[in-house]
Chains A and B, each alone.
Chain A
């Protein structure tokens, strides 16, 4: 139902965009309206577990929670897009429609009960995003981003398809639950190879090292609002799909040990790469791209706890991560400045922001502190739950490593805060003017970040026994 609503509004946006010369503003509002409707529909489904197209889509609490994240991310992205798209962009209709389509794809992915449905969702979202990444055709870095994303994306799709084919060959089914039942007996090489290939494909989508190389380039080249969307919603959806596959299809003894080992290694590699390279960045947008890689590392720690608490903390972390990352990327987008044909997101844009626009700087500080994991923000509680789940599953080494890297991350996050409050603004620094939409988006993200940090228990309580 929510997905249908969203699809309908996407088509509506598309029709309005082509038919008569509607302003981008109107189209954005329409998209927002559709998202809000879908959000309410999702809330309406709460407590009534069910399935649409039996055997294809599960609408359990897990799916609905992920849908909430996705729709919230979509809504906030639309709000941030108002400025990005500008008042008379000719292709605004396509932009919003693609955004909504990719959200639908993500929702399908999150709810998929069948490998084929999961693949379908993955492709809907990917293809929409390939286009969105290069949406500003006149910018060379945008085209480069789209091209790289597409090439490597296609590459990874091959792996996923191959994996599915192997699994089908080994077990004769694509249904996750049946796969899970046959796991116990299946010890053949095809089954294992299929799982490995599937994991590789998902690792690409969530940008875990060493499959992450596309992320910084694509994140930097794409329009900033889309970058925020990719960094949050895509990851949430991919994690949802991954969790479901792992915990439903590959939950049995030996297989489980395999993926635990693999993801432990990936988690370490991802945290190392994400955090260390972020230290060396001079561009805030790129820095945040690496930061989002680092956060995947923390999420993987929760994943390898392979317990109910692990799943809970992944979902909680996704909530926290979505709001703080969207907010941070959104503000970067608001501050971006064109110079010599290229859009600049350097540290210089942040110099003296604390005096030029104190409220915006305060919000940015909140997001950055949350990303660092400082109480009382969402990021702190997220990390707390993640590390606790890891400790309880005796993954103490990973938890300690995660904490060490969180400490390192403080350096690059706080560096932005230092620029905001302790550097004089540049002589020609433009006055930062916010539109209503941007302000609302920042406020929403900030409120959620604070709320999740201050009152974690109600939400945490909802998450028991999700999978």
Chain B
């Protein structure tokens, strides 16, 4: 199987092509659904098989499969004396890191596909939706399996495109189209960083094969530290765009305009984690550039706090989850930034489980109450939606980090990594973030499921159809049990995942053992913060459900307004970037319309006049033609004879 890993992305891509080109001929939605889900399921089974076989492989570096050459360029001078030719292959690499990713992408992806069948059943764009969703899955798999930066970039741009297409899925709604555009444009900023980084890497290393670059860095080769820092920061800029980190996080909340399963798959579980994956893939590069690594940690911490604080006061159920995603991605970058790369990947995985279930649950809720997304107009839904409510409760508990749940192990690992790496300040901020998490997620849960019903009269909530419920149950279970493969030794676990990733990722300082009592103390503190948040959420949201909690008085009121309006980040960008940019556009438009077009139209008019003048010679009389013939003949003979 290992030689056929290219099939894993190829299958969803093929299915997407089929549905996209011939989908309109398939009348039956059942067939479309079966093809789309079947392709992802097949990809998942193949992934599982491949990863299982990988375990018995002697070479810890993973397995690389090349399908042939893709880009072959001329040779370029690298540095003083070396020359290198650009040579990129269509090559895929399966190791512990990409293995984990393909399992998450296809595993979570399959259940979300299944869920979508129920969710999108009534939509007239059913075929198009699944064509896009399959395309996304294929592109994401190319991204994670790509063995060189250009191949990875194909997937990187591919998922960006799919994200755009799916955010703007209901293209006839203005807000969706706008949100799609915003996501695309903000991502372009990051992509520019990625592209520049790629160019720089080639200039510095003479290759774009990730493995070779990492190898050179690990043996102390490559350019100086300043150069490496610049390259790492450029790549990190790309990661920030894709993974919605400060300052490029503004697109993610708007992206919630797309269908909810899309939010779950693309904007929570998989695509947005591509940035984390990128940083982990290039871990050695970042380790060799401590400044860049510190930057990653700093951005991560800032993002987790900003996201968490904004999430406190959002009233739209999906927006809460969106900011929560931003915040959780911050945790992953924090982990990577303190060098605990395998923990970052672990949190990525558990987050994929619990955030997917939360989003899918939110989708079921929205479905049930007829499209309402305002938390203040819900309440008391547990009676009607027991399955959904329970699944979401599991997801929420996991996210807060209640012991035994998946999120506990990974989040604890992140914080422990920070402490062990000697970053006490980061640990404190991270624990504070845990408190925020506890508050915002349980505020959401209580407002939706507990208390008196505040639904607009006439709505009759109903439980989701079977396909949606199945996905909720499975992902709910995973958000409990999914963490058990990474239980640290101190709690009696084997940390199977950590060992698997060890081969693909460099050893991190976070793996230093911390004294046992300290470790338990730290766990307890973080857990306590989460529980305090949970408790406060219960008190406030149940007491005054229709308000947005937190007392509004005096200075606190201003603060509250600031938070509720998301720190005015969007407005700031609008004022600082978008408006001036438009102004430049208008100027150049005017320049174009008057000066450039004037020149162009002028020369066009000149040519036209010339044409009309010359046309006059075409009199239609043979005698005139013969005359011109004669003149020409005289000229030619003159040239020849002179």
Interface, chain A (partner B; CB < 8 A): 147-148, 151-152, 155-156, 159, 189, 192-193, 195-197, 199-200, 203-204, 209-211, 213-214, 216-217, 258, 261-262, 265, 272-273, 275-280, 408, 411
Contacts and interface: CB of A to CB of B under 8 A. Distances in A.
Given A189-B641, A200-B637, A213-B624, 18 more contacts: A152-B625, A155-B626, A155-B629, A192-B641, A196-B639, A200-B633, A200-B636, A203-B636, A210-B628, A211-B629, A216-B618, A262-B639, A265-B635, A272-B614, A275-B611, A276-B611, A276-B614, A408-B607
Contacts of A217: 618, 620
Nearest to B637: A196
Interface string B615-636: 1011010101110110111011
Nearest to A200: B633
Contacts of A213: 617-618, 624-625, 628-629
Nearest to B628: A210
Given A203-B632, A214-B625, A280 B639 contact: no
B27 interface: no
Contacts of A265: 635, 639
B612 interface: yes
Given A196-B639, A258-B640, A262-B640, A273 B614 contact: yes
B325 to A, nearest CB: 44
B608 interface: yes
Interface residues of B, number: 26
Contact of A277 (B614, B635, B639): B614
A132 B632 CA distance: 28
Given A213-B624, A217-B620, A261 B639 contact: yes
B610 interface: yes
Q: Which 8 A-B pairs have the closest CB atoms?
A: A213-B625, A196-B640, A280-B611, A279-B611, A276-B611, A210-B632, A192-B640, A276-B610
Contacts of A151: 622, 626
A9 B362 CA distance: 80
B604 interface: yes
Nearest to B625: A213
Given A152-B625, A159-B633, A276 B640 contact: no
B640 A152 contact: no
B629 A210 contact: yes
A331 B380 CA distance: 71
Main secondary structure of the interface of A (DSSP, over half): helix
Given A152-B629, A210-B629, A262 B607 contact: no
Candidate in B607, B617, B639, B640 with the most chain A CB atoms within 10 angstroms = B640
A207 to B, nearest CB: 12
Contacts of B632: 200, 203, 209-211
Given A148-B625, A193-B640, A217-B620, A210 B631 contact: yes
Nearest to A152: B625
A258 B610 CA distance: 29
B447 to A, nearest CB: 54
A210 B612 CA distance: 17
Contacts of B639: 196, 258, 261-262, 265
B641 A193 contact: yes
Interface of B: 604, 607-608, 610-612, 614-615, 617-618, 620, 622, 624-626, 628-629, 631-633, 635-637, 639-641
A204 B632 CA distance: 10
A152 B607 CA distance: 29
Contacts of A280: 608, 611-612, 614-615
A283 to B, nearest CB: 12
Contacts of B641: 189, 192-193, 196
A59 B624 CA distance: 40
A162 B128 CA distance: 73
Contacts of B631: 210
Contacts of A277: 611, 614-615, 618
Given A155-B629, A276-B611, A280-B611, A195 B604 contact: no
Contacts of A195: 640
A277 B615 CA distance: 6
11 contacts: A155-B626, A155-B629, A192-B640, A196-B633, A199-B640, A200-B636, A200-B637, A213-B625, A216-B618, A265-B635, A276-B611
A214 B618 CA distance: 9
A156 B625 CA distance: 12
Contacts of B640: 192-193, 195-196, 199, 258, 262
Nearest to B612: A280
Contacts of A189: 641
B626 A152 contact: yes
Contact of A199 (B620, B628, B629, B636): B636
A447 to B, nearest CB: 23
B85 to A, nearest CB: 22
Contacts of A408: 607
Contacts of A411: 604, 607
Candidate in B604, B629, B635 with the most chain A CB atoms within 10 angstroms = B629
B417 to A, nearest CB: 54
A278 B626 contact: no
A279 B629 CA distance: 23
Contacts of B607: 275-276, 279, 408, 411
Contacts of B620: 217
B327 to A, nearest CB: 49
B622 A152 contact: yes
B83 to A, nearest CB: 28
Given A213-B629, A408-B607, A262 B622 contact: no
A451 B190 CA distance: 40
B504 to A, nearest CB: 43
Contacts of B622: 147-148, 151-152
A460 B83 CA distance: 33
Contacts of A258: 639-640
A278 B612 CA distance: 9
Contacts of A279: 607-608, 611
Nearest to B635: A265
A272 B629 CA distance: 17
Nearest to A199: B636
Nearest to A261: B639
A151 B629 CA distance: 12
Contacts of B618: 213, 216-217, 277
Contacts of A159: 633
Candidate in A197, A200, A209, A272 with the most chain B CB atoms within 10 angstroms = A200
Given A216-B618, A279-B607, A196 B625 contact: no
